[in-house]
C-alpha cells in the first residue's frame, strides 16, 4: 500500500509514471503544457535552437502556448522585436496556440488567458517562463515557473527534471465577509511566513472559506504563492473547477484530465488555520509583499495613484468589486484600470451594476482605462500605461512592490485588494473598505 500523498505529490507521481513520490525525491516528469511570452520567449527559443538545431521542431505543437502580454503597447523597438521573434517562431513551427497582438486572437495576460482558452486542466503539469505560472494551481494542477534554459529543454523533449517539494497547508474556514477578498487571504498568509517561508515548497489551500471562492478568486490565491517563495500553489478541483474547465475546454479540444484529492492522512511540514470571519482587510507596505499590516493600522497614509489590474487583480471579479465601490462617486487621485485580457475588457461593457456598465462606472468616476495587458505591473518602457515614472505613492492590486517593480525605484507601492484600492482612490489616502461596503 503506497504511503499517503499530498495533492502535489499525486500529480507529480502521475507525471513521473510512478505509484508514489516523496518530498526531496528527484524525478523526471512529462509536461502537459509549456507556456512562454514576449519577455522570456526569445531566450527560450534561442536555447531550443542552439541545443536541438536550427531546424528542430517542438516536441508537441499542441502543447506549446505562446502569449505576448508584457511589453505590448509601447514604441520601444526592443520590446517590439521580441514579439516579432515569437511571431516568426509560431509561423515556423505552425503553432495553433499563438495569441498574437494586433489580431483578433490577442488575449492579454498569459496567466488569465491560459484558463480562458482551455489550457488549464486538473491533474496536469503546466510550466511557464514566468514566476506567476503558479496561478493555474487554482485548477487542481501542478503549475510553476521555470527559466529559459529549462523551457528550451522542455520545448524539445516534453520532459523536465525536478525535486518533489514538501507541502505546506493553509486552511481558511468560515464565511468570508463582504469587505474581504482572496487578496487579503494571500497577503495574510505571506505575512505569516515571509517572502522566503515557502521556498521550494508547495502551498496547498483548503477549507470551506476557500471553496466558497469563485474560480477567479482561487486564481488570486494561487497566483501569489511565488511571493512566499513557493514552488507552486494549488487546491483540489471541485464542481466549480470542473464546470469552468469543461466550458473552456471546448476552445482547446476538450482534452481529458484526472482529478486528484490529497489523502486525508498526507504529511504536511506546516499548517496554518485561519478563521476568515475574524480577518481584517490587509495591505503589504513597501517594499515587500510580506510587509503586512491591517488597513486599520495604515489608514490615512497619503497616496498619489491607484492601480487596478494584472494577473492578480485585473479579472472580472476584481472589477465588479471595485465598481461597486466607485459607482456614483469620483476618484481623488489618478486611478488606472487595466483588464487582464480582452475577454475581461469586453466584460466591462456587458456587466452592469444598477443598469450602468462597469466601463462607464469607471469613466464616470474619473478613472483611466487601458488595453488588456500586463501594463505597469512589471514597470516596462517609460510609455507603458500606468507606469510610475516619478517617485510617487501608489496603492495597487498587483503582486509585487519591490523597489522599481512598477517603474521608478523611489516609488512607494502598497499592495491591496480591489475593494481597498477602490476605497482609497475615493479618498486619496489608504482607506478601509468597510467604510464603503455595506
pLDDT tens by residue, 312-337: 999 999 999 999 999 999 999 999 99
- Order of strands across the sheet that contains 232-234: 232-234, 202-206, 167-173, 270-275
What is the grid cell recorded at 429?
489616502
Q: Using N-to-C axis directions, what is the helix angle for 215-223 and 239-248, rounded to 10°? A: 100
Per CATH, the architecture of 7-253+268-272 is what? 2-Layer Sandwich (3.30)
One fold for both 7-253+268-272 and 284-435?
yes
pLDDT band at 24 (very low <50, low <70, confident <90, very high): very high
pLDDT band at 410 (very low <50, low <70, confident <90, very high): very high
The strand ranges marked E within 74-152 are 125-128, 142-145
pLDDT value, residue 400? 97
Asked if residue 306 has pLDDT above 90, the reply is yes
pTM score? 0.97
The three-class DSSP label of residue 169 is strand
pLDDT value, residue 305? 98
pLDDT, the chain, mean = 97
Q: Could you tell me what percent of the chain has a pLDDT over 90?
A: 96
Question: Which residue, chain included where needed, has cell 496547498?
Answer: 204
Average pLDDT over residues 234-260: 95
pLDDT band at 26 (very low <50, low <70, confident <90, very high): very high
Asked if residue 265 has pLDDT above 90, the reply is yes
pLDDT value, residue 73? 87
**Neighbour count for residue 178 (Cβ, 10 Å):** 13
* End-to-end CA, the chain: 53
pLDDT value, residue 355? 97
Cα–Cα dist 165/147, whole Å: 18
Average pLDDT over residues 374-385: 93
Tens of pLDDT, residues 194-229: 999 999 999 999 999 999 999 999 999 999 999 999
Asked if residue 253 has pLDDT above 90, the reply is no
Question: Which residue, chain included where needed, has cell 468616476?
Answer: 365
Asked if residue 2 has pLDDT above 80, the reply is no
What is the grid cell recorded at 408?
521608478
Per CATH, the architecture of 284-435 is what? 2-Layer Sandwich (3.30)
pLDDT value, residue 86? 97
Half-sphere exposure in the Cβ direction for 128 (13 Å, CA): 31
pLDDT band at 169 (very low <50, low <70, confident <90, very high): very high
Asked if residue 239 has pLDDT above 80, the reply is yes
Asked if residue 1 has pLDDT above 80, the reply is no
**Neighbour count for residue 72 (Cβ, 10 Å):** 24
Domain assignments of the chain as residue spans, ordered by start: 7-253+268-272, 284-435
| CA dihedral over 22, 24, 25, 26, signed as positive or negative | positive
Tens of pLDDT, residues 344-369: 999 999 999 999 999 999 999 999 99
Question: Which residue, chain included where needed, has cell 507521481?
Answer: 13
pLDDT value, residue 161? 97
Amino acid at each position: 500500500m503506497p504511503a499517503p500523498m499530498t495533492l502535489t505529490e499525486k500529480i507529480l507521481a502521475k507525471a513521473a509514471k510512478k505509484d508514489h513520490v516523496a518530498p526531496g525525491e528527484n524525478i523526471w516528469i512529462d509536461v502537459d503544457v509549456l507556456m512562454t511570452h514576449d519577455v522570456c520567449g526569445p531566450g527560450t527559443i534561442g536555447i531550443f535552437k542552439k541545443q536541438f538545431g536550427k531546424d528542430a521542431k517542438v516536441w508537441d505543437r499542441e502543447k506549446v502556448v505562446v502569449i505576448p502580454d508584457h511589453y505590448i503597447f509601447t514604441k520601444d523597438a526592443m520590446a517590439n522585436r521580441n514579439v516579432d521573434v515569437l511571431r516568426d517562431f509560431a509561423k515556423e513551427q505552425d503553432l495553433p496556440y499563438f495569441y498574437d497582438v494586433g489580431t483578433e486572437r490577442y488575449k492579454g495576460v498569459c496567466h488569465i488567458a491560459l484558463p480562458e482558452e482551455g489550457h488549464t486542466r486538473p491533474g496536469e503539469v503546466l510550466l511557464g517562463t514566468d514566476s506567476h505560472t503558479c496561478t493555474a494551481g487554482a485548477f487542481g494542477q501542478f503549475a510553476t515557473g521555470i527559466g529559459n534554459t529549462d523551457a528550451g529543454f522542455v520545448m524539445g523533449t516534453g520532459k523536465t527534471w525536478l525535486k518533489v517539494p514538501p507541502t505546506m497547508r493553509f486552511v481558511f474556514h468560515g464565511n468570508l465577509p463582504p469587505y474581504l477578498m482572496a487578496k487579503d487571504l494571500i497577503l495574510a498568509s505571506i505575512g505569516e511566513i515571509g517572502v522566503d517561508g515557502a521556498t521550494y515548497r508547495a502551498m496547498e489551500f483548503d477549507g470551506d472559506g476557500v471553496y466558497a471562492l469563485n474560480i477567479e478568486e482561487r486564481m488570486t490565491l494561487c497566483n501569489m504563492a511565488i511571493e512566499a517563495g513557493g514552488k507552486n500553489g494549488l487546491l483540489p478541483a471541485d464542481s466549480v473547477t470542473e464546470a469552468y474547465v469543461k466550458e473552456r475546454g471546448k476552445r482547446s479540444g476538450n482534452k481529458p484530465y484526472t482529478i486528484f484529492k490529497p489523502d486525508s492522512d498526507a504529511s504536511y511540514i506546516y499548517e496554518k488555520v485561519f478563521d476568515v470571519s475574524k480577518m481584517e482587510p490587509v495591505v503589504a507596505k513597501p517594499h515587500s509583499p510580506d510587509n503586512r499590516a491591517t488597513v486599520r493600522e495604515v489608514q490615512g497614509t497619503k497616496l498619489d495613484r491607484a492601480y487596478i489590474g494584472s494577473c492578480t487583480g485585473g479579472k472580472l471579479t476584481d472589477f465588479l468589486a471595485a465598481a461597486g465601490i466607485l459607482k456614483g462617486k469620483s476618484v481623488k487621485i489618478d486611478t488606472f484600470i487595466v483588464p487582464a485580457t480582452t475577454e475581461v475588457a469586453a466584460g466591462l461593457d456587458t456587466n452592469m451594476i444598477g443598469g450602468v456598465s462597469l466601463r462607464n462606472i469607471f469613466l464616470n468616476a474619473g478613472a483611466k482605462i487601458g488595453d488588456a495587458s500586463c501594463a505597469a505591473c512589471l514597470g516596462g518602457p517609460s510609455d507603458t500605461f500606468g507606469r510610475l515614472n516619478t517617485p510617487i505613492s501608489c496603492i495597487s492590486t498587483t503582486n509585487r512592490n519591490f523597489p522599481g517593480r512598477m517603474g521608478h525605484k523611489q516609488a512607494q507601492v502598497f499592495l491591496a485588494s480591489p475593494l481597498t484600492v477602490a476605497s482609497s482612490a475615493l479618498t486619496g489616502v489608504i482607506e478601509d473598505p468597510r467604510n464603503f461596503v455595506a
